[in-house]
């Protein structure tokens, strides 16, 4: 027969393709790998230890001190400061509000960003990169400036209210600032570029051929989405959710400005305690609660992704 000119592509490695171990030799090279790993990781780890771990330990230590009414810090070792917010129903409510705000902002943000990220990933338009740049362009402006923008738009005489009143849809301006509504609207918009970026980078796994294969096997568009698109994009969706949740419960500027002092979440309470009342130990205790909240949510996230076998 005549010669074929096609190029052989190696088949995907399966479990049985892995080379057998080489005993001592393998052991030695693995030890060398480990040494290289530590050598390369050391500068970064040292930097993190100095700039992150030490201050964190200092903060945790601070939570065991006692703040005195005159603003002085009593160096001691007590559980009183940590226990105080746990016995005060006000701080339980603040913690719960913080948690709920994080969930609501993350949920709305992810739901709005998901179709955009999906569209941007799939687009074959020549304007694709321009569209992506536009989607993340808000990051070029500081969150403070954007927050002031939202205060203007959402205010009593702002764009939204004046439009609604001109159209006769409302007679009294809606209260959209200085409350949780304003904070949620502002945070959702400010975090959308992050959600879009995280999801787009995670959608790489979504091969359009998979959706075509499902359609050819008789799946209607809705079934293709429910059985193929959504399950395959769920990991990226969950990572975006986690990121936005963490960013919103720790956000301070937007919460403070759009909340106008009427929204009390852990971040604003910590700020008030630390700078207003100069009660550093109590601010540290609230920070520890916030950290625990992070920890709980990350643990839930890990369990969920592992349960769903989505980690691959």
Partner 1 sequence: MSTPKLALVDLTKRYQPGLAPAVDHLNMEVEEGHLVALLGPSGCGKTTTLRMVAGLMDPTAGRIVVDGEDITSIPVHRRGMGMVFQSYALFPHMNVAANVAFGLRMRRLPKSERLERVRRALDMVQLGYLAERETKALSGGQQQRIALARALVVEPTLLLLDEPLSNLDAKLRESMRGEIRAIQQRTGATTLFVTHDQDEALDMADRIAVMNGGLIEQFGEPSEVYERPRTRFVAEFIGRANLLDATVVADRGPSGADERRYDVQVPGFGAVGAVGAPGLTGATRTMLVRPHRVQVHCDPGASGSPGTVESVSYTGDSVGYRVRVGDRAQLAEAPTDGRIAAPGDVVRLDWDPASAYLLPEEEER
Q: Which residues bind partner 1 (CB under 8 A)?
A: 1-4, 6, 8-12, 14-17, 205, 207, 209-210, 212-221, 223-224, 227-228, 231-232, 309-310, 312
| Smallest gap from residue 217 Cβ to partner 1 (A) | 4
Compute φ and ψ for 74, nearest 5 degrees. -90, 115
Q: How many CB atoms lie within 10 A of CB 239?
A: 18
In whole angstroms, give the CA distance from residue 178 to residue 283: 23
Whole-angstrom distance, CA of residue 292 vs CA of residue 7: 56
Backbone angles phi, psi at 66, to 5 degrees: -120, 130
In the numeric block, the tokens 């989405």 are attached to: 225
**Minimal distance in Å, beta carbon 121 to partner 1?**
17
87 vs 216, which CB is nearer to partner 1? 216
206: region left, alpha or beta (phi > 0 left; psi from -120 to 50 alpha): beta
Beta bridge pairs of residue 66: 74
Distance of CA 195 to the CA centre of its chain: 8
Q: Of 2 and 87, which CB lies nearer to partner 1 in the complex structure?
A: 2
5 versus 89: smaller Cβ distance to partner 1:
5
Closest to partner 1 by CB, 24 vs 312, is: 312
- Smaller CB separation from partner 1, 70 or 311: 311
Question: Helix (H, G, I), strand (E, B), or coil: what is residue 66?
Answer: strand
For residue 15, the minimal CB distance to partner 1 (Å) is 6
Report the alpha-carbon distance of residue 158 to residue 257 in Å, rounded.
16
CB of 82 to partner 1, least distance (A): 44
Q: How far apart are CA 300 and CA 279, in angstroms?
A: 32
Given the complex with partner 1, which of 19 and 43 has the nearer CB atom? 19
Q: CB nearer to partner 1: give 228 or 290.
A: 228
Smallest separation, CB 215 to partner 1 (Å) = 5
By CB atoms closer than 10 A (0-12, 13-18, 19+), residue 265 is buried
Minimum distance from residue 216 beta carbon to partner 1 (Å) = 4
Compute the least distance from the CB of residue 232 to partner 1, in Å.
6
- Cα gap 284→87, rounded to integer Å: 16
């Amino acid at each position: 027969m005549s010669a074929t000119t096609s190029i052989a592509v190696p088949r995907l490695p399966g479990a049985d393709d892995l080379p057998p171990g080489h005993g001592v030799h393998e052991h030695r090279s693995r030890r060398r790998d480990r040494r290289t790993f530590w050598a390369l990781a050391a500068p970064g780890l040292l930097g993190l230890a100095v700039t992150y771990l030490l201050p964190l330990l200092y903060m945790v230590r601070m939570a065991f001190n006692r703040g005195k009414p005159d603003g002085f810090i009593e160096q001691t070792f007590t559980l009183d400061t940590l226990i105080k917010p746990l016995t005060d129903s006000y701080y339980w409510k603040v913690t719960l509000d913080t948690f709920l705000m994080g969930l609501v902002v993350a949920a709305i943000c992810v739901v709005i960003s998901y179709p955009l990220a999906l569209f941007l990933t799939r687009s074959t338009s020549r304007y694709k990169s321009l569209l992506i740049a536009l989607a993340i362009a808000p990051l070029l402006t500081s969150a403070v400036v954007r927050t002031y923008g939202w205060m203007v738009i959402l205010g009593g005489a702002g764009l939204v209210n004046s439009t609604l009143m001109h159209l006769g849809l409302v007679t009294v301006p809606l209260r959209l600032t200085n409350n949780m509504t304003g904070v949620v609207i502002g945070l959702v918009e400010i975090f959308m570029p992050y959600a879009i970026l995280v999801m787009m980078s995670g959608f790489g796994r979504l091969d359009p051929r998979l959706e075509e294969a499902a359609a050819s096997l008789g799946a209607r568009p809705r079934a293709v989405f429910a059985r193929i698109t959504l399950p395959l994009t769920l990991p990226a969706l969950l990572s975006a959710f986690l990121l936005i949740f963490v960013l919103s419960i720790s956000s301070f500027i937007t919460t403070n400005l759009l909340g106008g002092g009427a929204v009390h979440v852990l971040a604003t309470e910590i700020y008030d305690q630390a700078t207003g009342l100069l009660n550093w130990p109590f601010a540290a205790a609230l920070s520890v609660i916030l950290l625990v909240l992070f920890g709980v949510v990350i643990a839930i996230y890990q369990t969920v992704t592992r349960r769903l076998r989505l980690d691959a």
